[in-house]
């Protein structure tokens, strides 16, 4: 099998795709944000329950490809219990990692387990898949009242 493909579809990614974590609507969510990729039909809702400035609980549901779904799943596990500020900082690091140039180095320490998505940058058409849930989450934290879309 093609090495790049193996790199992209690593076991952990496929595991999150098959058994996504926090994959359900959240009762009593403070915020529900909706993200949509009109090009491929990926469509997710991200639910956020805040306690003061801390993300008490976060979940998602919807449908999409393996990359978008596993990225959303890993995001929910990474953000639970994080402060708004930390979530925003992690968002920035993840987006930086996903959209960097292939030969550009990045610091895996800043994103923890999410570094498994580092290979996505080699597939420019898939960066939007991996970042969809993250942009949706940000809309949940800092609402503008708009549906999040990959095409704007």
Partner 1 sequence: MNASINQQSTWNVQKIRQDFPLLQEQVYGKPLVYLDNAATTQKPAVVIETIGQFYAKENANIHRGIFCLSEQATKRYKSARHKIQEFIHASSDKEIIFVRGATEAINLVAQCYGKSFLKRGDEVLITHMEHHSNIVPWQMLAETNGIKLTVVPINDHGELMMEEFQKLLTDKVKLVSVVHVSNALGTMNPVKEIINAAHGKGIPVLVDGAQAVAHTRVDVQELDCDFYAFSGHKLLGPTGIGVLYGKKNLLEKMPPYQGGGDMIRSVTFEKTTYNDLPYKFEAGTPHIAGVIGLGTAVEYIQSIGLDRIEAYEQELLKYGTEKLLQVPGLRMIGTAAKKSAILSFVLGEAHAHDIGTILDRQGIAIRAGHHCAMPVMQRFKVPATTRASLAFYNTFQEIDRLAEALREVIEVFK
Q: Does 102 bind partner 1 (CB under 8 A)?
A: no
Q: Toward partner 1, which CB reaches closer, 1 or 145?
A: 1
Q: Does 125 bind partner 1 (CB under 8 A)?
A: yes
Query: For the sheet containing 54-63, what is the strand order?
Result: 54-63, 42-51, 31-37, 148-149
The contact pattern for partner 1, residues 48-67, with x = CB under 8 A and - = no contact, is: ---------------xxxxx
Length of the chain: 152
* Contact region with partner 1 (CB under 8 A), list: 6-14, 83-91, 99-107, 134-142: 6-14
Q: Does 129 bind partner 1 (CB under 8 A)?
A: yes
Token digits of residue 125: 């058409």
Name the site residues for partner 1 (rule: CB under 8 A).
1-2, 4-5, 8-9, 14, 18, 39-43, 63-67, 123, 125-126, 129
């Amino acid at each position: 099998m093609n090495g790049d493909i193996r790199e992209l579809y690593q076991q952990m990614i496929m595991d999150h795709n098959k058994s996504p974590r926090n994959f359900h609507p959240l009762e009593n969510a403070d915020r529900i944000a909706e993200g949509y990729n009109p090009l491929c039909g990926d469509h997710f809702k991200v639910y956020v329950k805040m306690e003061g400035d801390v993300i008490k609980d976060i979940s998602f549901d919807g449908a999409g490809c393996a990359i978008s779904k596993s990225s959303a799943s890993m995001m929910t596990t990474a953000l639970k219990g994080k402060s708004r500020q930390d979530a925003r900082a992690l968002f920035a690091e993840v987006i930086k990692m996903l959209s960097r140039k292939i030969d550009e180095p990045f610091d895996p320490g800043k994103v923890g387990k999410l570094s498994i998505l580092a290979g996505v940058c080699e597939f420019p058409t898939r960066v939007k898949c991996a970042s969809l849930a993250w942009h949706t989450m940000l809309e949940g934290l800092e609402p503008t009242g708009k549906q999040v879309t990959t095409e704007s």
